[in-house]
Amino acid sequence: MGGLITPRLRETYPPNGMLVATMNPCPCGSQGDPSKECTCSALQIQRYRARISGPLLDRIDIQVGVPVVRYKELATITDSESSGTIRDRVDRARQMQLQRFHGRKIYCNAQMAARDLKKFCTTEPAAEQLLERAMVKLGLSARAYTRILKVAIASCRITGTSFCGPSVTGTCKPSCTA
């Protein structure tokens, strides 16, 4: 069956777990912070980021940069979407997945094989060009390509749209049949 085995703790974790991790943008943690000057050299930042191996980074589905939030932003009362509303959208997307994969041994986009992507999702020419440029410029792997499509499908379903346009997060523009 496999999995992550920790001999010291004598524990085995399932092979399909979810990893959630955080990392500062640089050793001092101030890069990109408008109120603090980063004291790190370019070489220090490069070495710091190189501590995470390429193969490990290639297996992380979503990477999000989180800006510093100031007190005034936290203390200001704003109208925002409730957790319940967001949960309802996610539940609808999950139901679509369950219907799409009915009768199969997979239950979410992350478990789709490349052949499933070809069946359930075709990219528009503009999105395909964007993905091709990203693959070449960033040296993305085949794994990264399929992961981008899977995340884009999920994003479309959560927002309730059939087509996802290229955005700041780099999602592609899939057209999904299910």
Chain CA centroid to CA 83, Å: 20
d(CA 135, CA 143): 11
Taking the C-alpha atoms of residue 2 and residue 14, their distance in angstroms, rounded to an integer, is: 7
CB 172 within 8 A of CB 164: yes
Widest CA span of the chain, in angstroms?
A: 56
Is a pLDDT exceeding 80 seen at residue 111?
yes
Positive or negative CA dihedral for 141, 90, 168, 100?
positive
* pLDDT at 62 exceeding the cut of 90: no
Q: What is the pLDDT of residue 135?
A: 86
Per-residue pLDDT tens over the stretch 2-13: 677 777 777 877
First-to-last C-alpha distance (Å) of the chain: 31
Long-range contacts of 158-166 (CB under 8 A, 24+ apart): 158/89, 158/90, 158/93, 159/89, 160/89, 160/92, 163/124, 166/126, 166/127, 166/130
Would the pLDDT of 144 be above 50? yes
pLDDT at 148 over 80: yes
- The per-residue pLDDT for 161 is 66
